Amino acid sequence: MEQYLDSFNPTIEEVRRWGYEEDMYFIEQDEDLVLHSAEYISILMELSSDANCPKNMYCLSILTHFSQIQLANRKLSMIEDIYHHVNQYIKTTSIPVEKWKFDFLQLRELIIDPRSITEEQSDAIAFKLTVGDYNHREFKKLRILPSGFIEYLASTSSYKEYFYINPHTSFWKSSRYFPSSDMGLEDL
């Protein structure tokens, strides 16, 4: 029987209990968004790494999606908060969580210490930050703008996310629903 906690701010113990009870939910709709906070990084890493947790892949998808949003929008304060929790985590992690951690740390490093990257690396970054392993979106490289930014589009029938990355500087920008003008990117 389904059980709803009706909690928008669950405790770590409530999250742990939720992870092991298949019929437990925080809220009726978009419950994953309840866990979009750096304070849940450690428990999501723990649940994602436990093969006995029935929601382990769901927890990994939440962890991935939350960090994708922060990285795509270059929210440095939140990225550093996530980084702090990742560095403090001392328990054993599964291979998929290690992959997530590696990708997160690599992308954080590009924000902290920008450098020139290849077009192939740009393609991979754009894909990771707009589609990744858990979103079902069509992904296209649209064009290279005069400013040097490469424009990508990740979309579904009801959602569009434009993503821009400059391989010379490794700077990127995300824009939902509407493309950015090249003039707006020149100052970045």
pLDDT band of 186, cuts 50, 70, 90: low
Angle at CA of residue 60, ends 111 and 96, nearest 5°: 80
**57: exposed, middle or buried (Cβ count in 10 Å: 0-12, 13-18, 19+):** middle
Residue for token pair 């560095």: 87
Q: Which residues contact 102 (CB under 8 A, 6 or more apart)?
A: none
Q: Would the pLDDT of 6 be above 80? A: no
CB neighbourhood size of 13 (10 A): 9
pLDDT digits (tens, 9 = 90+) for 30-43: 888 999 999 999 99
Q: Would the pLDDT of 188 be above 60? A: no
* Coil, strand or helix at 151: strand
> Is the separation of the CB atoms in 46 and 91 below 8 Å?
yes
The pLDDT of residue 65: 95
Q: Would the pLDDT of 68 be above 90? A: yes
The structural domains of the chain, with segments of one domain joined by +, span: 3-112, 119-186
The pLDDT of residue 178: 84
**pTM higher than 0.85, yes or no?**
yes
